[in-house]
């Protein structure tokens, strides 16, 4: 069964190939991104990193200071050539956190709006809208106005409306963030069907690793307005190279440069571990280790195969039988490393926020591999 009603009669080639390079000085954003047609890319990153700005640039809600964006070979914006295609002519639909339906229209009319404005006859547009409402399991709400719908129901209608418009590229800005946790799993399944089952090209901004894993082929991480990671979602999680990816993957990461078989952090900390041959003994690298590999000591220890990092305890987080010890670096004060230790050990060590301790990890528990250039 097809799950793409608007393309039922005759398969169309995949669309949505995007080539983007754009910068906005005021926002500290400088991005370069290429999407293959049919690709679903998750965009992750800390607050204020530039994720929504990326979507705004593609949707045409924001002009870059410099750069150019093209979709399927058609130039949408080019500052040097003075080209600007307005949002509604771009073949791009943005699905936001809030459903943003037209309040005076029924659900059916909301979904039929896109096809109607492309010139489709009313009855054909309504048929298509009915099909999409069926796809998102919302046929029963066809005659309701938005104020008669729950948040989750309204978001289903918004998804149907977005897809009925048959965009070349679908942009999703945290589409589940405003919903009850109870509703999100069902909507995630639905999005998975519509994104993965149709060959549709999509860019999905999310804070949720589960979304990235369930919905996307590829993830990019944006930090401080720049793309710091780009690759298959599973690879980014299993081999993070950015502080952000390490955090969402629940790993400790120290960055620095490789020198003589160990990593040297900017604050002078040396980290010994298994050095990936790809490091070639030079250049930017990251050291990665699991929180469960870290033991916590109140006194400085001596013992050559171990790494010892002085830290200040920031927070203690109970996690079943374990306690997760969050720390700040005692040198830089940056958000720091984490250790998972038993509740008994935490009690015996008398750990409290503000206390200075040593995180100790065996060299054999640490992997050192090249950072992105
Ligand atoms: N309307 C605006 N005017 C000026 N600066 C803005 C505006 N919106 C965002 N910014 C700035 O642009 C930068 C990128 O913000 P953006 O909203 O793209 O981040 P984000 O990654 O989507 O963050 P979040 O996860 O918090 O939504 C930030 O420094 C932000 O303060």
With a 6 Å cutoff on the Cβ, whether 56 touches ligand 1 is no
Do 24 and 173 lie in one domain? The reply is yes
| pLDDT < 70: residue spans in the chain | 1-12, 179-183, 281-282, 303-305, 330-335, 372-373
Closest Cα to atom 5 of ligand 1: 27
Distance CA 138, CA 46 (A): 34
With a 6 Å cutoff on the Cβ, whether 49 touches ligand 1 is yes
Domain boundary among 186, 211, 235: 235
Q: What's the pLDDT at 4? A: 45
Query: Does residue 274 belong to any structural domain of this protein?
Result: yes
Query: Does residue 294 belong to any structural domain of this protein?
Result: yes
Q: What's the pLDDT at 239? A: 85
Distance CA 45, CA 129 (A): 35
Domain boundary among 219, 235, 251: 235
Distance CA 14, CA 326 (A): 46
What number of other Cβ atoms are within 10 A of residue 207's Cβ?
Answer: 15
Query: Does residue 11 belong to any structural domain of this protein?
Result: no
Query: Does residue 310 belong to any structural domain of this protein?
Result: yes
User: How much is the ipTM here?
Assistant: 0.95
Looking at residue 137, which CATH number applies to its domain?
A: 3.40.50.300
Range of the domain at 164: 18-235
Total tally of structural domains belonging to the chain: 2
Distance CA 173, CA 206 (A): 7
Query: Model confidence over 325-369: pLDDT tens digits?
Result: 999 876 655 558 999 999 999 999 999 999 999 999 999 899 888
Query: Does residue 4 belong to any structural domain of this protein?
Result: no
Query: Model confidence over 93-117: pLDDT tens digits?
Result: 998 887 789 999 999 999 999 899 8
Query: Does residue 278 belong to any structural domain of this protein?
Result: yes
Q: What share of the chain is helix, strand, coil (3-state, %, to 5)?
A: 30, 35, 35
Pocket test for ligand 1, best of 24, 25, 26, 27 (most atoms within 8 A of CB): 27
The DSSP annotation for 232-278 comes to EHHHHHHS--SHHHHHHTT-EEEEEEEETTEEE-TTS-EEE-EE-GG
Looking at residue 272, which CATH number applies to its domain?
A: 2.40.50.100
What number does the ligand 1 atom closest to the CA of 207 have?
25
Q: What's the pLDDT at 12? A: 55
Do 42 and 176 lie in one domain? The reply is yes
Do 219 and 354 lie in one domain? The reply is no
Closest Cα to atom 23 of ligand 1: 48
With a 6 Å cutoff on the Cβ, whether 51 touches ligand 1 is yes
With a 6 Å cutoff on the Cβ, whether 55 touches ligand 1 is no
Do 79 and 225 lie in one domain? The reply is yes
With a 6 Å cutoff on the Cβ, whether 313 touches ligand 1 is no
Query: Does residue 91 belong to any structural domain of this protein?
Result: yes
**What is the reported pTM?**
0.81
With a 6 Å cutoff on the Cβ, whether 221 touches ligand 1 is no
């Amino acid at each position: 069964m097809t799950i793409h009603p608007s393309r039922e009669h005759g398969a169309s080639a995949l669309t949505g190939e995007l080539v983007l390079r754009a910068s906005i000085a005021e926002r500290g954003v400088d991005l370069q991104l290429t999407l293959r047609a049919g690709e679903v890319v998750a965009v992750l990153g800390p607050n204020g990193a530039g994720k929504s700005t990326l979507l705004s640039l593609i949707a045409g809600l924001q002009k870059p200071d410099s750069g150019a964006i093209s979709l399927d070979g058609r130039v949408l914006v080019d500052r040097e050539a003075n080209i600007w295609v307005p949002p509604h002519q771009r073949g791009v639909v943005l699905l936001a956190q809030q459903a943003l339906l037209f309040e005076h229209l029924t659900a059916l009319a909301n979904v039929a709006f896109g096809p109607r404005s492309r010139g489709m006859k009313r009855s054909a547009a309504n048929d298509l809208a009915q099909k999409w409402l069926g796809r998102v399991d919302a046929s029963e709400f066809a005659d309701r106005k938005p104020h008669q719908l729950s948040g989750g129901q309204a978001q289903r209608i918004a998804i149907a409306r977005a897809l009925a418009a048959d965009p070349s590229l679908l942009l999703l800005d945290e589409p589940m963030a405003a919903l009850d946790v109870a509703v999100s799993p069902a909507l995630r399944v639905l999005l998975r069907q519509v994104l993965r089952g149709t060959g549709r090209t999509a860019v999905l901004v999310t804070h949720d690793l589960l979304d990235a894993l369930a919905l996307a082929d590829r993830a990019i991480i944006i930090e401080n307005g720049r793309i710091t990671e780009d690759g298959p979602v599973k690879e980014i999680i299993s081999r993070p190279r950015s502080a952000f990816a390490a955090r969402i993957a629940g790993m400790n990461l120290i960055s620095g440069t490789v020198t003589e078989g160990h990593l040297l952090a900017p604050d002078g900390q040396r980290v010994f571990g298994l050095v990936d041959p790809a490091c070639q003994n030079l250049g930017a690298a990251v050291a990665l280790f699991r929180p469960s590999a870290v033991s916590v000591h109140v006194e400085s220890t001596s013992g050559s195969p171990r790494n010892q990092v002085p830290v200040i305890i920031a927070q203690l987080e109970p996690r079943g039988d374990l306690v997760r010890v969050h720390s700040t670096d005692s040198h830089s004060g940056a958000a720091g490393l984490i250790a998972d230790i038993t509740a008994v050990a935490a009690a015996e060590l008398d750990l409290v926020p503000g206390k200075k301790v040593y995180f100790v990890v065996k060299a054999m528990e640490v992997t050192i591999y090249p950072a992105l250039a």
